Structure 1
Amino acid sequence: MISSYRASFNEHFSEEKYNGFLENLEKGFAKIPFRVAETPIFLPAALKEKLIAAGAEIVTLIQQPDFKQLTEKAIPEQWQVPAENTHPHFLTFDFGICKDEQGELTPKLIEMQGFPSLYGFQSHLAETYQTAYSLSEGLTPYFNGMDQAAYIALLKEVIVGDHQPHEVALMDIDAPNQKTAIDFLVTEQYLGIKILSLEDLKKEGKQLYYIQDGQKVRLKRIYNRLIFDEIGDNTGLFKNSFDPREELDIEWITHPNWFYRISKYTMPFLKSEFAPETFFLHELNAIPTDLENYVLKPLFSFAGMGVIIDVKKEDIEAITDPENWILQRKVNYEPVVQAPDGGVKVEIRLMYLWPEGKEPVLCINLARLSRGKMIGVRYNKDFDWVGGTVGLMEK
């Protein structure tokens, strides 16, 4: 989107360079199972400032004194976890890049999460793009004047805190085989923490431990990457490990309840030029006559599962639990990134870190390129110049 960088990048691009970039990205790590795009995004200053302003509005909502009261019903009863803390440690906000009535680029909120994203991988990804393509040193993926060293230091403060790295573990159901395993491995390299699957953890009283070299090692913090929606009714997984819903002597980074509090559930409370009009379905007085301009989303799903893009009146009338759905005005993505064969749509994720007792800090970003009907891997299988990437900005 910064035309000078885009023109230069496209002119010098080659499949050979792209393949070398992918090789460097995976070197020393696992093979990446998702598509990484050929190019980074070059974010212009005006759009960067709008993104910062849009993110700040959402942060203001989350910091309202009554935010927990507003979102109490967001947490499914069967997934309530005790000992919730005062704020999440991670905030991620996804914006589609559109054009306003004046033809200027503007962000529109798609979704938000109080849950970690690819905080390790995005730093590694940006560094690899810059090295593999010999990009200008005047470009950065970081906000607030950060460089990589400052970013990793803050990441360590949030995730490790005052503990020793071996007392902290990144945990997921089957961590080594997750699609995001590359992020786990980069995070391990940056911070020195353990990567553990759910069944690697055992409970003794209220304490958790894992075995290393035949010895019990007490765990004090969990960098939680486990999403309860993935478990569903398969709670038998907890029998060989521990049940997160029990009272435990453990610190959660971040506490699982925040996954639900800051989510699609939060969207209807946000009134902003950067957020599309959103309604809880059970609070809708009448079904809009222009349903082609709306998208229907289940509250309790992830990765786009269950979303109805081409909404019909019958779809709404067939829903038996309207309190668990939202109706959201569609966001019209603009194909603003110029690939060699035309425009590509883009989504930008702002990624914040929120240290204990401090303010949330906008740190880095994630971007996704799409030619399909929706952003996401399964909608872009047959295209190139799509997939995960990062936004680079002028320092």
Structure 2
Amino acid sequence: MIPSQRQKYNQQFTEEKYQNFLTELQNGYPPIPFRVAETPVFVPKALKEKLIAAGEEIINLIKQPNFKELTQKSIPVNWNVPNENEQPHFLTFDFGICKNQAGELTPMLIEMQGFPSLYGFQHHLAKTFQTSFEIGGAVNHFLNGFNEEAYIKLLKEVIIGSHQPEEVALMDVDAPNQKTAIDFFVTQKMLGIKILALEDIKKVGKQLFYEEDGEKIQLKRIYNRLIFDEVANNTEIFKNSFDPREELDVEWVTHPNWFYRISKYTMPFLKSEFVPDTRFLNEIKIIPEDLENYVLKPLFSFAGMGVIIDVSERDIINIKDPENWILQRKVNYEPAVQAPDGGVKAEVRMMYLWPDGGEPQLCINLARLSKGKMIGVRYNADFDWVGGTVGLMEE
């Protein structure tokens, strides 16, 4: 998207360099189970400024005094976790890169989450691109004036807080074997915190403990990577550990309720040039005649599961719980990234950290490239120049 950067990169790209890059990326870590793209996304200044402006509009909604009231129904009754704090610690906004009526590249909001993303891996990925390819200093994966030192300092403040690293753990069901485990290991290396599977944690009274070298260590803060949607049909797993929905003497980073509050559920409340028209299905009185221009999404799903792209009136009529669905105007991605064999669609995730008592700060980003019908890595398994990557933004 920055023509000079793209031309230079493509001219010096070789398959051998790419394979060496992948080897370096995985050096010291288990194999990465998802596809990493051959290229970063070079984001021009004008588009970067629109991405920043779009994010600020969303944050203005989240900071409204009535935001919790607006989103209370987003939290499923049986997954409401006590002791919710006043803010999420993480905000991630996914934007499809499109063209507006003036022919300019512009972001359109696809998804949003009050939940952590690959905050460790994305820095590692960008550094490895920079050292493996001749990219130079005119572009940066950091935003808002951040550099490596300032970023890691803020990440420590948000995740570890006032505790010792051994009192904080990144937690998921089977953490070392998750698809995003590379991020867990990079984060552990950066911050010195533990990685614990759910079953590694035991409850005594209201306190949580894990064992190391025969010693019980109290867990005071959880960097939570457990998505309840993934375990909703298997709550037996809590019996060997603890149930997050109980009263516990532990701090959450971020509290699980924010996963629901800042999600697809929030999108109908946003009115912006950067947000496609989105409505709760149960509030639609007349079904649009041009359904081919809409997509139907379940509120409570992850990684694109359950999305109906080619919507029919029958699809809408057959939905038994319309209050749990949104109808959203389709976003037409522009194949703006030039691969050797043509244009590729891109999505950019703007990633914020929100320290306790502070303000949300835009720090870093994630990008994904696609030639498939949907952006996710799972929908692009048979293509090259697609997959997970990072945006290198024009300074």
User: How high is the TM-score relative to the length of structure 2?
Assistant: 1.00
Cα deviation, residue 93, structure 1 = 0.2
Code of the aligned partner of 1:272? S
The match for 1:94 is 94
The match for 1:122 is 122
Determine helix, strand or coil for the equivalent of 1:238: helix
User: Any residues of structure 2 matched to 1:45-124 within 5 Å, and which?
Assistant: 45-124=45-124
Distance 1:286 1:239 in 2: 47
Distance 1:233 1:34 in 2: 25
The match for 1:289 is 289
The match for 1:218 is 218
> 373-382 or 191-200, which moves further after superposition?
373-382
Distance 1:133 1:242 in 2: 46
Distance 2:131 2:156 in 1: 24
Distance 2:86 2:377 in 1: 34
Cα deviation, residue 205, structure 1 = 0.5
The match for 2:165 is 165
Code of the aligned partner of 1:88? P
Determine helix, strand or coil for the equivalent of 1:239: helix
Distance 2:349 2:216 in 1: 39
Distance 1:226 1:134 in 2: 38
Q: State whether residues 41 and 392 of structure 2, in contact with CA within 8 Å, keep that contact through their aligned partners in structure 1.
A: yes
Determine helix, strand or coil for the equivalent of 2:240: coil
Distance 1:233 1:39 in 2: 38
Cα deviation, residue 148, structure 1 = 1.1
Determine helix, strand or coil for the equivalent of 1:37: coil
Are 1:184 and 2:167 counterparts? no
Residue identity (%):
73
The match for 2:347 is 347
Distance 2:233 2:13 in 1: 48
User: Any residues of structure 2 matched to 1:238-277 within 5 Å, and which?
Assistant: 238-277=238-277
Distance 1:107 1:265 in 2: 20
Distance 1:179 1:134 in 2: 29
The match for 2:7 is 7
Determine helix, strand or coil for the equivalent of 1:134: coil
Q: State whether residues 377 and 388 of structure 2, in contact with CA within 8 Å, keep that contact through their aligned partners in structure 1.
A: no
Q: State whether residues 98 and 334 of structure 2, in contact with CA within 8 Å, keep that contact through their aligned partners in structure 1.
A: yes
Determine helix, strand or coil for the equivalent of 1:150: helix
The match for 1:36 is 36
The match for 2:146 is 146
**CA-to-aligned-CA distance 1:256-311 (integer Å, 9 cap, x gap):** 00000000000000000000000000000110000000000000000000000000
Distance 2:335 2:152 in 1: 33
The match for 1:300 is 300
The Cα RMSD (Å) is: 0.5
Code of the aligned partner of 1:245? R
Ranges in structure 2 where 5+ consecutive residues have no aligned partner: none
Distance 1:124 1:99 in 2: 30
Cα deviation, residue 134, structure 1 = 2.7
User: How high is the TM-score relative to the length of structure 1?
Assistant: 1.00
Ranges in structure 1 where 5+ consecutive residues have no aligned partner: none
- State the number of aligned residues: 395
Cα deviation, residue 194, structure 1 = 0.1
> 143-152 or 383-392, which moves further after superposition?
143-152
Q: State whether residues 120 and 190 of structure 2, in contact with CA within 8 Å, keep that contact through their aligned partners in structure 1.
A: yes
The match for 2:377 is 377
Determine helix, strand or coil for the equivalent of 2:266: helix
